[in-house]
Structures are given as structure tokens and as C-alpha cells.
Amino acid sequence: MMKNYLKLLQFLKGHIKRFIWAISFILLSSVFEGVQLTLMLPVIDRIFTNKKIIIPNQVPELVTNIVNYLNSVDNHTLFWIIPLTFLVLFVIKQVVNFWSDYFMNDVAQRVMRDVRSRLFERIQTLSLDYFSKKRTGELIARITNDVAVIENAVSYAVTDLLKQPVLVLIFLALAFTFNVRGTLLIFLMVPFIAIPMTIIGKKLRKLSRGQQEKMADINSLLLETISGVRILKAFGTERYEIKRFNQQNQDFYRLRMKGLKNLMLLGPITEMVGAICGVAAILMLGKDVLNGQLSFGVFSLSIVSILQVIRPIKRMANVQAILQQALVANERIYDVLETKPTVVEKPSPLELGALQQKIQLENVCFSYETVSGNVLQEINLTIKKGELVAIVGPTGSGKSTLVNLIPRFYDATAGRVTFDGVDVRDVSFKSLRGQVAIVTQEAILFNDTVRNNVAYGTFEVTMDQVRKAAQMAFADHFIEKMPLGYETIIGDRGFRLSGGEKQRLTIARAILRNPPILILDEATSQLDSESEKFVQEALDSLMKDRTVIAIAHRLSTIMRADKIVVLEAGRTVGLGKHDELLFTCPLYRRLYETQFQV
């Protein structure tokens, strides 16, 4: 638990100066709040009753001297002095409160900003295998919901954690000063508040974890249904998805209400214990007032001080709830921050030069998890510079996994991948991936302008270069018809474009990158026949004098390949040209007859 607390406090690193300012103003604010009205009670009694302030004999000498002075001043004089003094102190208090709130909220917002940035940066550095295990909505929840919980812990919980104990000490000191016997009652009520706080705090921690996990489920469902709205409407599953969301929403509501119920129990408990102590104190001190041994103002000060102790204790109970939520969120945030990428550069990686001869996969095996077995087994493949290599095979045969090893999105679990004899694990990501452009089956676009989508990764190109790439991909004619042409925002994931238009933009992006190596993952599968014809011509031009690895389901790509790799269950079962494989590889012949035939 303490280790988790210390980790939470580490987020304050870099903001210590402002945090110290915030603490200083909070403590000063606590002093003003503790003494502002409470100490006025005996003086008000002195002004309006014109009776002397009577205090117990055991009070400190300083207090006695102040009381003697107030007793010696005419009540009419005090009538003007005290309200004006109170007004000045009230104004000072408001100024102090403003700056304490400002600095603490500033620290909280800075912490949120930094944690979000650290999370996003960490997520960007993680390897692809991490994302195969985590839902996108869950990661979004870490950056949004969990970070917001941390903000509450810093801005509200830390403020009360500093302020309320100071108030407790101030009120205890005041109560002890004027009435030792009555104040001892406060210590009798501590177990009756502390024990329920501890029990409820443990429950809140468990419920907080459930709430944050359920919020991650809601985020995941929202992301799936909003991104897949076309399919949702095409299959008429709106009511089904509404029902699913309502169920998740209801589950979150139940967990939230359980947490609130436990939190709200603390209020009545502390109030009841405080009321009992207050009544006992009145009975004990009331006799002294009746006997003339204590003035009414001092009596009121003692009772109010005792009762005021309850309020900060109650606030600290709320702090306990916020901290429990923050500690759970902290664990979930550090779960991401402390995750190490599985694919990393060496400390001083080599800079890979342009491909001169060949790419080789030597006895390559790969598995995502040890228990699930190998996805690729004993793959040996040579891809010469300038070759078009097609990879075919049934679904799940390992085609995409194989091409993902070439730019080192994953590391082979056995064997190695080399560029001109240099192991890809020895070179920098930039020099390796800078040679590769990828066009995938799913057109990945961003909610940005057409220009920025085409220029993605090569941002410093001119408008003429962007337009030329679009023309080569046969995308220029539909771009020019858009409201703002190349400056048109295309919507989330290119929502406003057809499948063929989106794919042509991604091909234009690859053309602009002008890479020596192209990876085409069924790049034309989303195009209609007319669009495919134009784009295929553009790709043919682009593929000249380049090394191309193509996962293909179209016969036109297969027929032109210099080499065809046939995969089945992660193994190479055929290697050669189209004509020879028809006779030497039964699987290829079957695929050709059932899938490639047009």
C-alpha cells in the first residue's frame, strides 16, 4: 500500500515548487478558517451583554492577558473595532483561499497533462503484441477516466489531507485551552469513527477497481459500435447494441451506487458520534455557566470547537474514498507505464543502408504466446532486390505475420531476418522502417485533411508532390471534387469516403514515400473493378525497380510474381512461379481453382 502511495506522489515530480506554494497557502487558509468566527464568540458576548469574559484558571498566561485587555475596553469601542477587524481578516482569508485553490488546481492539471503525455508516449513505444492483448477502449480509459481520478486525488484529496488535520489540531487546541475535561470526550469517539472508516475504505478500494474496469468495458463497447456503425445499421442490430450498452451501463451504476452507499455511511456515523459528544460536553460545561464560573461566550467557544472537530474528520473520510479510487487508478496507469516493449533497439544500433542484394528469412519460427504454439515454423525464404514476391495461403496460415517480421514489428522467436546479411535486430528502427512502405487491406486514415493523410510520415513535401502522388494513385479526380479539395477534412478513419477512395489515398501515401521496399497486404481488395484497374496500373509503375512483398488474393498479382510462397499452418508448402506450382503444389492448385479463378 505504502509503495503505491509513493508511486502516486511521484507524479508531482517537476512541480514541487508550485506544490510547496499550494501547501503554504492551504496551511494559511486552515489557520484563518479555524480562528475566524470561533474566537469571535466570547468577544461578541462581551459586546452585547457588557459582561466580562470569564475563563478557567488553568489557561495559558497569554490568553489570560488578552482576556483581561478585552474586559478593560469599553463595549461600545469594541462594537466598532471587532467588526472592522473581522472584515479585514475575511478579505485576507478569501485572497488566501483563492491562491491555495489556484496553485493546487494548477498542480493537478499539470499532473494530468504529464500523465496523459507519458501514457500516450509509452503506448506509442510498445510493440504490436501488446495491442493484441489489450482492448483499445481499455487503453483509452487509462488515459481519460483513470487520469481524471488522479486529478481528484491531487486537487481535492491532497488539499483536504493537508487542510483538515490542521483544522482538527486548531479546534482541539481551542477546546483544550478552555475545557480539558470536555475535550477528552473527543478521544473517546475516535475508535467509533476510525474503525468504520477502515472497514469502509477496504470496501471502497475493491469497488473502485470494479468501477474503473467496468468503465473500460463501456469505452470498448462505445469504440466498437461507433467505429462499426455501418455494419451495425446494415445488419439492423441497433436494439441489440443498445441492450448491450444498457447492461454495461447498469452494471457500472450498481457498482457506483455500492461505492456511494458505503461512502455516505461515514457521514451519519461521524455526525451521530459528534452529536453524542456535543450533548455530553454541554451537560458537563453547562453547570459552570449556571454557577458563574464560565461566561456564555467561552462556553459557546468550547462547544463549537468540540463540534467543529467532526467536520474535518468527516472530510477526511471522503479523502479516504478518493485516495482509494486514486490508488486503483494509479495501479492501472503504472501497469501501462511499466510495460516494456518486447521489440527494442540495441543501445547503439547500426544504420542500415539501402537494400543492395536480398532479404532473407533463415529458419524463422514465431509464436505470439508460448502456450499457443508457433504461428510460423522453419520458414526459409530469399527475396532478391527488385523481385515481386507473392504470399498466398488459406486464412490463418501466417501470411500477415510473415510480412510483419520484415519491418520488425515482431521479432522471430527462432531464426533471423537479414537485409544483405545484417540481422534486423542489430539496426535502428528508423533506418529499417524508412525503407518500407505498407499498404494494408484496411485503409488506415486519420481525421485530418486529404493533404496531411497523403503526406503522412513525409510531412515536409510540397503540394505539387502530394498532388502528383494522388494522380499516380488515380485519386486526384475525386479529391478535386471535394468542397475544399486537398484541404478537406475526411472525417474519422475517412468516414466520408468510399472504400475505393480510402484505399487510393493510402496508395498515394505509399507512392509519396517512394520506398525501395513495398509491402502490399491485399492492397486492392477493397476496390471495384474499375478502380482496381487504375490503381493496379499505378502500382505497376510504382513497383518498377523495387522489392515488393504482396499478400494477394487477386490472380492478376499472382500471375506477375517472380516468386510465389504458399503457406499452410505456418509452413512453406510451395515455392516457385505460378505455372510450376499448379503442378507441384496441391494446395496452390486448389486455391487457384477455388479462389483465384476468375
Tens digits of per-residue pLDDT, 274-291? 677 767 767 776 777 777
Q: What is the DSSP string of 537-584?
A: HHHHHHHTTSEEEEE--SHHHHHH-SEEEEEETTEEEEEE-HHHHHHH
Same domain, residue pair 317 and 379: no
Q: What is the pLDDT of residues 379-394, one digit of tens each?
A: 899 999 888 899 988 8
By residue range, what is the domain housing residue 592? 358-596
Whether 523 and 388 have beta carbons less than 8 Å apart is answered as: no
Q: What is the CATH number of the domain that holds 436?
A: 3.40.50.300
Name the grid cell of 441: 487491406
Report pLDDT for 56.
65
Any domain includes 48 = yes
Domain boundary among 337, 369, 400: 337
Same domain, residue pair 443 and 487: yes
Q: What is the CATH number of the domain that holds 192?
A: 1.20.1560.10
Is 193 or 162 the better-scoring residue by pLDDT?
162
Same domain, residue pair 258 and 379: no
Report pLDDT for 423.
92
Report pLDDT for 391.
92
Confidence of residue 419 (pLDDT cuts 50, 70, 90): very high
Same domain, residue pair 502 and 406: yes
pLDDT at 300 over 60: yes
Any domain includes 196 = yes
Q: What is the pLDDT of residues 235-252, one digit of tens each?
A: 777 888 888 889 888 988
Whole-number Å distance between alpha carbons of 352 and 331: 39
Same domain, residue pair 438 and 582: yes
Residues in the chain: 598
Any domain includes 14 = yes
Same domain, residue pair 331 and 367: no
Q: What is the pLDDT of residues 421-461, one digit of tens each?
A: 899 999 998 888 888 888 877 778 888 888 888 888 887 88
pLDDT at 412 over 80: yes
Domain boundary among 278, 304, 337: 337
Cβ neighbours around 91 below 10 Å, total:
10
Report pLDDT for 298.
67
Any domain includes 343 = no
Any domain includes 457 = yes
Whole-number Å distance between alpha carbons of 64 and 399: 90
Supply the mean pLDDT for the chain: 80
Domain count, the chain: 2
Same domain, residue pair 91 and 130: yes
CB-hemisphere CA count at 13 Å for 140?
Answer: 14
Same domain, residue pair 383 and 246: no
Same domain, residue pair 409 and 295: no
Whether 249 and 178 have beta carbons less than 8 Å apart is answered as: no
Cβ neighbours around 176 below 10 Å, total:
16
Is 371 or 91 the better-scoring residue by pLDDT?
91
Whole-number Å distance between alpha carbons of 249 and 161: 32
Report pLDDT for 3.
67
Mean pLDDT of 15-30: 85
Report pLDDT for 128.
82
Task: Note the pTM of the prediction, 2 decimals.
Answer: 0.74
Among 211, 193, 205, 335, smallest CA distance to 271 is for 193
390 sits in which H/E element: strand 388-392
Longest dimension (CA), the chain: 119
Same domain, residue pair 450 and 366: yes
In the sheet where 571-576 sits, what is the strand order?
Answer: 436-439, 517-521, 547-551, 388-392, 563-568, 571-576
Whole-number Å distance between alpha carbons of 201 and 198: 5
Report pLDDT for 47.
74
Confidence of residue 60 (pLDDT cuts 50, 70, 90): low
pLDDT at 55 over 70: no
Q: What is the pLDDT of residues 357-375, one digit of tens each?
A: 889 999 999 888 765 667 8
Report in angstroms the alpha-carbon separations of 423 from 175, 389, 410: 77, 20, 13
Beta-strand relationship, 563-568 and 571-576: antiparallel
Same domain, residue pair 216 and 87: yes
Domain boundary among 304, 337, 370: 337
Same domain, residue pair 243 and 383: no
Report pLDDT for 418.
92
Question: Percentage of residues in the chain with pLDDT exceeding 90?
Answer: 6
Question: Percentage of residues in the chain with pLDDT exceeding 70?
Answer: 84
Any domain includes 342 = no
Whole-number Å distance between alpha carbons of 454 and 490: 12
Confidence of residue 598 (pLDDT cuts 50, 70, 90): very low
Any domain includes 349 = no
Confidence of residue 417 (pLDDT cuts 50, 70, 90): very high
Confidence of residue 507 (pLDDT cuts 50, 70, 90): confident
Name the grid cell of 204: 471502497
Is 145 or 348 the better-scoring residue by pLDDT?
348
What DSSP character marks residue 170?
H
Confidence of residue 36 (pLDDT cuts 50, 70, 90): low
Question: Which of these ranges, 49-53, 391-395, 527-531, has the smallest mean pLDDT?
Answer: 527-531
Confidence of residue 310 (pLDDT cuts 50, 70, 90): confident
What DSSP character marks residue 155?
I
Any domain includes 146 = yes
Mean pLDDT of 44-60: 70
Report pLDDT for 535.
65
